[in-house]
């Protein structure tokens, strides 16, 4: 007997979704797919609600839902009970969680393991390929109407921000979701109930990578599904469970010169939007869901901060976590969006993200100037005047939009910087780029790792179909700044991941 047998015996409504089962939570009664059952995990299966956070194994479910004592639950499962001391929790009603008003909800940071090297390599290939696909813009639609870039723009996310966070689009193969062997991603072989091998599922949708120390450690894909369907966000198995942490871009105006304010949200896209609009003042953290815990390093940083805006979704799930945050982080203040459920909804409804966040911060957070730090308006490179006309060997400058640009004529150094995904030009390239087209050139260098600026290229066509050999000319990047030619890139093939 396992937890699935118990739930079916109790007549709870669930449905099979992949390797797990989902249904409405029997405790908080929220949603239709927030309660997750994993019959193959642990000895007798596990359960977890994304809204109220209730979780445990089969024995814990019997104790929570049927109000059984520990020994009775063990006997029901055919197990020998261990000698443990049971803390009194007071009377409870079956199917309803106890209020727990007499105890503090302790916060336990989680340990997040980094994926294997081969996994990161496959994920990097997927992310780079998806970026190239999205920014080529050919025939891609989200929800049958908008291109991915238009869809992001409708949520307030600019082209510059999309490139900064390396968002991309997976169109699938022949219009269908992609499946790869687990071994190719460095994952152990697993079998499904029917005896067939499980595959790595890469669904069609927006790719959202998590990058730490230059490595991709997670890729989550946002699918376009109906409200009644299964999960909208699908992580590639084997990646890290760490939260997305976006520190503030500058530290001026913060006491003691550090990031002392944080905004906590659920969705990574919401975090990216907030970082775009007010990332010069506060850091942003996306938990992934309302009850996920911070990792230890992030926990220590947040614990010592001056201000925390708890901006989890304005729904039952987000509200259920208010007490836990308030008890463990005294500086945390509940600060949901004024209208809608989350920051994305608020923006689409005409809300001003920056004004909303600034209104929740204490007076000590000073700002200089107005407007968004990353508005997507890219200006020319700030070149320092010089009378030395010798070829540049190695130099670092800052663009008008704050991006760091590396300039070197050393070919080995140039290739090394490309591998590290830096914006790098040699002196010949720099001479070809007019100031008004600098933003376009920097975008290309960020999006495509091997992008180079050339005067001429033998590619016979300026279209995607003009693919010749190992290079392809992107017409979007040839309109300005590149005399008689354009930006040439070497595309990554989808088969590499």
Select from 210, 227, 171 the least CA-distant residue to 288. 210
H or E, element range at 425: strand 423-425
pLDDT tops 50 at residue 388:
no
Contact between 130 and 140 under an 8 Å Cβ cutoff? The reply is: no
Look at residue 277 in the predicted model and tell me its pLDDT: 92
Share of the chain above pLDDT 70, in %: 73
Which of 170-184, 378-392, 419-433: highest mean pLDDT? 170-184
**pLDDT tens-digit map of 440-479:** 778 878 777 777 776 544 433 323 333 333 333 333 333 3
Angstrom distance (rounded) from CA 34 to CA 28: 10
Over residues 83-93, mean pLDDT: 42
Which residues, in sequence order, are CB contacts of 215 under 8 Å at separation 6+? 114, 120, 124
Over residues 151-161, mean pLDDT: 89
Over residues 375-395, mean pLDDT: 36
Count the neighbouring beta carbons within 10 Å of the beta carbon of residue 277: 28
**pLDDT tens-digit map of 100-140:** 444 556 678 888 889 999 999 999 999 999 988 887 765 45
Q: What are the angstrom distances between the C-alpha of 263 and each of 30, 340, 405?
A: 25, 17, 29
Task: List, in order of start, the domains of the chain with CATH numbers.
Answer: 3-76 (3.90.580.10), 117-242 (3.90.980), 245-360 (3.40.1360.10), 394-496 (no CATH)
Look at residue 467 in the predicted model and tell me its pLDDT: 33
Look at residue 218 in the predicted model and tell me its pLDDT: 96
Look at residue 188 in the predicted model and tell me its pLDDT: 93
Q: Which residue has the tokens 């595309």?
A: 491
Look at residue 250 in the predicted model and tell me its pLDDT: 54
The reported pTM is: 0.63
Angstrom distance (rounded) from CA 38 to CA 40: 6
Would you state the structure tokens that stand for residue 471, as one six-digit string? 């290079």
Q: Where are the beta strands (DSSP E) in 53-187?
A: 55-57, 168-170, 178-181
pLDDT tops 80 at residue 395:
no
pLDDT tops 90 at residue 391:
no
pLDDT tops 50 at residue 488:
no
Would you state the structure tokens that stand for residue 485, as one six-digit string? 């030619």
Would you state the structure tokens that stand for residue 8, as one six-digit string? 């079916």
**pLDDT tens-digit map of 274-328:** 999 998 889 999 999 888 889 998 998 898 888 999 999 998 888 888 888 988 9
User: Mean pLDDT lowest for which of 103-117, 178-192, 208-222?
Assistant: 103-117
User: Mean pLDDT lowest for which of 17-21, 62-66, 343-347?
Assistant: 17-21
Over residues 152-173, mean pLDDT: 90
Share of the chain above pLDDT 90, in %: 26
Over residues 423-445, mean pLDDT: 77
Look at residue 124 in the predicted model and tell me its pLDDT: 93
Angstrom distance (rounded) from CA 189 to CA 266: 32
Which of 99-108, 156-165, 200-209, 396-405: highest mean pLDDT? 200-209
End-to-end alpha carbon distance in the chain: 39
pLDDT tops 60 at residue 434:
yes
Angstrom distance (rounded) from CA 19 to CA 191: 10
More confident residue, 93 or 156: 156
Look at residue 436 in the predicted model and tell me its pLDDT: 67
Angstrom distance (rounded) from CA 310 to CA 326: 9
Residue 364 per-residue DSSP state: T
Look at residue 65 in the predicted model and tell me its pLDDT: 83
pLDDT tops 50 at residue 257:
no
Which of 170-174, 340-344, 417-421: highest mean pLDDT? 340-344
User: Mean pLDDT lowest for which of 9-18, 195-204, 318-327?
Assistant: 9-18
- Quote the radius of gyration of the chain (alpha carbons, Å): 26
Let me know if 220 is exposed, middle or buried by CB neighbors in 10 A (0-12, 13-18, 19+). buried
Look at residue 90 in the predicted model and tell me its pLDDT: 43
DSSP string, 236-253: PTT---PPEEE--S--TT
> How far from chain centre, in Å, is Cα 391?
41
Look at residue 385 in the predicted model and tell me its pLDDT: 31
Angstrom distance (rounded) from CA 199 to CA 268: 25
Contact between 308 and 261 under an 8 Å Cβ cutoff? The reply is: yes
Q: Which residue has the tokens 């990047």?
A: 477
pLDDT tops 60 at residue 67:
yes
More confident residue, 178 or 404: 178
Which of 59-68, 251-260, 275-284, 414-423: highest mean pLDDT? 275-284
**pLDDT tens-digit map of 323-375:** 889 889 999 999 999 999 999 999 999 999 999 999 888 876 654 333 333 33
Over residues 35-39, mean pLDDT: 87
- What mean pLDDT is reported for the chain? 76
């Amino acid at each position: 007997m396992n937890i699935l047998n118990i739930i079916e015996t109790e007549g709870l409504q669930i449905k099979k979704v992949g390797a797990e089962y989902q249904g409405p939570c029997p405790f908080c009664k929220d949603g239709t797919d927030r309660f997750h059952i994993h019959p193959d995990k642990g000895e007798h299966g596990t359960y977890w609600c994304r809204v109220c956070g209730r979780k445990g194994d089969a024995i814990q479910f019997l104790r929570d839902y049927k109000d059984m004592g520990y020994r009775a639950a063990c006997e029901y499962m055919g197990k020998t009970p261990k000698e443990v001391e049971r803390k009194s929790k007071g009377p409870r009603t079956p199917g309803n969680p106890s209020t727990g008003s007499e105890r503090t909800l302790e916060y336990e940071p989680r340990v997040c393991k980094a994926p294997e090297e081969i996994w990161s390599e496959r994920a990097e290939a997927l992310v780079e390929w998806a970026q190239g696909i999205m920014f080529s813009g050919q025939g891609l639609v989200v929800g049958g109407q908008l291109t991915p870039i238009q869809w992001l723009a409708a949520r307030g996310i600019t082209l510059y921000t999309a490139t900064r966070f390396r968002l991309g689009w997976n169109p699938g193969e022949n219009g269908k979701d992609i499946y790869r062997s687990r071994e190719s991603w460095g994952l152990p072989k697993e079998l499904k109930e029917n005896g067939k091998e499980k595959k790595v599922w890469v669904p069609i949708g927006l790719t959202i990578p998590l990058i730490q120390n230059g490595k991709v450690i997670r890729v989550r894909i946002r699918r376009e599904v109906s409200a009644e369907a299964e999960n909208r966000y699908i992580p590639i198995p084997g990646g890290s469970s760490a939260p997305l942490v976006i520190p503030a871009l500058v530290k001026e105006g913060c006491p003691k010169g550090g990031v002392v304010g944080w905004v906590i949200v659920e969705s990574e896209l919401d975090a990216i939007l907030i970082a775009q609009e007010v990332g010069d003042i506060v850091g942003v953290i996306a938990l992934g869901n309302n009850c996920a815990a911070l990792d230890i390093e992030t926990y220590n940083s947040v614990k010592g901060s001056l201000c925390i805006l708890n901006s989890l979704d304005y729904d039952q799930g987000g509200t259920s976590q208010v007490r836990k945050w308030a008890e463990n982080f005294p500086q945390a203040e509940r600060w949901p969006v004024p209208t809608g459920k989350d920051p994305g909804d608020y923006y689409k409804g005409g809300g001003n993200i920056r004004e909303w966040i600034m209104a929740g911060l204490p007076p000590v957070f000073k700002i200089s100037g107005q407007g968004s730090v990353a508005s997507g308006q890219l200006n020319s490179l700030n070149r320092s005047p010089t009378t030395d006309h010798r070829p540049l060997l190695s130099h670092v400058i800052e663009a008008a939009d704050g991006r760091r640009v590396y300039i070197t004529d050393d070919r080995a150094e140039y290739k090394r910087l490309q591998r590290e995904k830096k914006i790098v030009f040699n002196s010949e390239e720099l001479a070809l780029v007019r100031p008004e087209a600098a933003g376009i050139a920097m975008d290309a260098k960020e999006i495509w790792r091997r992008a180079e600026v050339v005067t001429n290229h033998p590619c016979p066509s300026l279209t995607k179909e003009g693919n010749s050999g190992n290079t392809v000319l992107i017409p979007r990047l040839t309109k300005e700044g590149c005399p008689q030619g354009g930006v040439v890139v070497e595309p990554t093939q989808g088969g590499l991941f």
